[in-house]
Structure 1
Amino acid sequence: MNRLEFPYRLYLVTNQEACLGRDLVKVTEEAVKGGVDLVQLREKNLDDKQFLVKALQLKEMLNQYNVPLIINDNLWVAQQCYAEGIHVGNNDMPPHQIRHRWNDVGILGYSIEYEKQLALPDAELSDYLALSPVFATPTKNDTVTEWKLEGVSHIRQLTTKPLVAIGAINLQNATSVIQAGANCLAVVSAICSASKPALAAEALRNQIEKALI
C-alpha cells in the first residue's frame, strides 16, 4: 500500500481512560460524526475478555458508519471481534508474525520509533507506518524518538508507505504535520477528552483537508 492508496485522514486512538469517565462508544460515535474515518482501540489495562467486550461494542457501532476498527497489540481480540486490522509497536508481536498467524488481516500498522526500522522486513510488510511520537505526549511515555516536523519530512523522503503521525497532534500543529508529509493524523486526547468530540474532530478534519489542497 503506497501513499496514494491510503484513504484515511483522521485516526482516533481511544480507550476508556481517555474518555474521562464518559461512555467510550458514545464518545467514539461523536468523533466519527465529526470526521474520524479510522479507529484504534488501545486498552492496556484490561484483560483479554474485558478488552473483547469493549471491542465488540465498538465494532457494532462502527459498522453502521463503515469505519474500520483497528485493535492495538492483541491478535486474539482482533480476530475474535472481526476487526479490520491490528496495530503493533516495537515491543509487540512483529508484523511478520501477524501476517503468518492472520492471513487475511485487512490493515496492519507498525510504529516507527527510530529510523533504522525502515530497513526491517516488518516495515515492508506493514500497510502503514506510524511515526510515534511526532511531539512528546504524556499518553505514551515509553518512546525512543520525538520526530518533530523535521523527522516527518525526513522519513517521508525515505519511504512510499503511508505515514500516520501521532503524538500531541492538535489544531495548532495539524496543518504543519500534514504539510511535512504525513498522510493521516492520529489523535487521542484532542478528541477523546474534548467536551464536544464531534466538534473537535470536525475542526481537525477541516485542517487536514485544507492542508491537502
Structure 2
Amino acid sequence: MLLWINGPFGGGKTQTAHELQRRLPGSVLCDPEHVGFGLHRMMPPELRGDFQDLPAWRQGVHDVLDMALNQHDGTVIVPMTLVEPAYFREIIGRLRERGHDVRHFALLADRGTVLRRLSERGFGHAVRFVAGKDATLRRESFAVAKLDLCLDRLREPEFAEHVWTDRLAIPQVADHIAASTGLTIAPNTDSPTRRRLRQAWTGVQHIRFD
C-alpha cells in the first residue's frame, strides 16, 4: 500500500508521515522533494522554477514509487503537496492503473490555522499575520503564496479523502489514516513533552536551504 499524504505547505504532511512511519513496522518514507531538489541542483539557477512543472520530476517520482511498491514489502509513505489535477493523474493515477493500492489523504485546515502553524516552524523564518495581511519572512514566502490555491484545489472531490486537522494533534491524524486504511499502528505512548521534542527534531531535519 502507498499512503500519499497531501495538504498545503505547513499543513502537517511531513510530521504525519514520520508519525506513521514510527508507529507502522516495516514502513518506509519516500519524499518526492528529493527528486525535485536533485533536478534543481543540475540546472542553472535562472532556469529553476517549480520543479513539479518538470516532466522529469513527475516521471521520476512515478518510477521510484513504482519500484518501491514492487520491491518493498511494507507500506510506502509519501508526504507531498500535489494540487495540479493533471499532475495528480500523471503520478497517482498511473500508479493505480498499474494495480498499486494507493490511498490518498488531503490534510486540510482553516487558513488561519495553517498560517499559525507556519509561524511556529523554522526558528523564526516564519509568517506573521497582522491586520488581516500576510507578511512573509524568508523561506515561508512560497508556502504562503501557494496557500489559497492549495486549500481551494484540495477541497475538490478528486483530492479526497479529506482530513480536517484544525482540532487534531499529529498522533490523532495518524490514527485516523490508519483506521481509514485498515492498517494497525502501534499506540502512541509519547508524553506531550516528548511529542513536542520529536516534532521539533523532525522540523529541524527538514529545513531546506535550496
Greater relative contact order: 1 or 2 (C-alpha under 8 angstroms, separation 6 or more)? Answer: 2
Fold equivalence (TM over 0.5): no
Question: TM-score, normalised to structure 1's length?
Answer: 0.33
Higher helix share: 2
Larger Cα Rg: Structure 1 or Structure 2? 2
Relative to the length of structure 2, the TM-score reads 0.34
